[in-house]
Homo-oligomer: A and B are copies of this chain.
Amino acid sequence: MHITVQRDKLSNAVSHVSKAVSSRTTIPILTGIKMKADEEGLTLTASDSDVSIEVLIPKEEAGEWGVTVHQPGSIVLTSRIFSEIVRKLPNSEIHIQVDDRLVTQIRSGQAEFTINGMDAAEFPQLPQLEEDKIFSVPSDLLKSMIRQTVFAVSTSEMRPILTGLMWSLDGGQLKFVSTDSHRLASRTAAVECADELSFTNVVVPGKSCNELVKILDEDQNPVDIVVSDNQILVKSKHILFYSRLLEGTYPDTARIIPQSSKTEITVSTKEFLQSIERASLLSREGKSNVVRLVTLPDGSVEITSNAPEIGKVTEIVMPKAMQGEELKISFNAKYMIDALRSIDSSEIKACFTGPMSPFVLRPTDHEWTLHLILPVRTY
Q: B274–A310 contact, CB under 8 A?
A: no
Q: Which residue of B lies closest to A83 (CB)?
A: B281
Q: Which residues 305-336 in A have Cβ within 8 Å of B in the complex?
A: 309-318
Q: Which residues 12-69 in A have Cβ within 8 Å of B in the complex?
A: none
A85 interface contact, C-beta 8 A: yes
Contact A115 B84, CB 8 Å, known A110-B316, A316-B110, A317-B110: no
A121 interface contact, C-beta 8 A: no
In the complex, chain B residues whose CB is within 8 Å of the CB of A277: 88
A312 to B78, CA, bound (A): 14
Q: A313–B113 contact, CB under 8 A?
A: yes
In the complex, chain B residues whose CB is within 8 Å of the CB of A274: 88, 90
Q: A282–B110 contact, CB under 8 A?
A: no
In the complex, chain B residues whose CB is within 8 Å of the CB of A104: 311
Interface size range of chain A in the complex = 20 to 34
A192 interface contact, C-beta 8 A: no
Indicate with 1 or 0, residue by residue over A366-378, a CB within 8 angstroms of chain B CB atoms.
0000000000000
Copies in the assembly, this chain: 2
Q: Which residues 288-319 in A have Cβ within 8 Å of B in the complex?
A: 309-318
Q: A111–B281 contact, CB under 8 A?
A: no
Q: A310–B116 contact, CB under 8 A?
A: yes
Q: A81–B111 contact, CB under 8 A?
A: no
Q: A111–B315 contact, CB under 8 A?
A: yes
A89 interface contact, C-beta 8 A: yes
A114 interface contact, C-beta 8 A: yes
In the complex, chain B residues whose CB is within 8 Å of the CB of A314: 111-112, 114
Q: B315–A281 contact, CB under 8 A?
A: no
A235 interface contact, C-beta 8 A: no
23 pairs, CB–CB < 8 Å, chain A vs chain B? A78-B310, A81-B282, A81-B285, A84-B281, A85-B278, A85-B281, A88-B277, A88-B278, A88-B281, A89-B278, A110-B275, A110-B316, A110-B318, A111-B313, A112-B313, A112-B314, A112-B315, A113-B311, A114-B313, A114-B314, A115-B311, A116-B309, A116-B310
> A residues engaging B (CB < 8 A)?
78, 81, 84-85, 88-90, 103-104, 110-116, 274-275, 277-278, 281-282, 285, 309-318
Counting from the closest, the 3 A-B pairs by CB-CB distance are: A115-B311, A110-B316, A113-B313
Given contacts A81-B311, A88-B277, 15 further A-B contacts (CB under 8 A): A81-B282, A81-B285, A84-B281, A88-B278, A104-B311, A110-B275, A111-B313, A111-B314, A112-B313, A112-B314, A113-B278, A113-B282, A115-B310, A115-B311, A116-B309
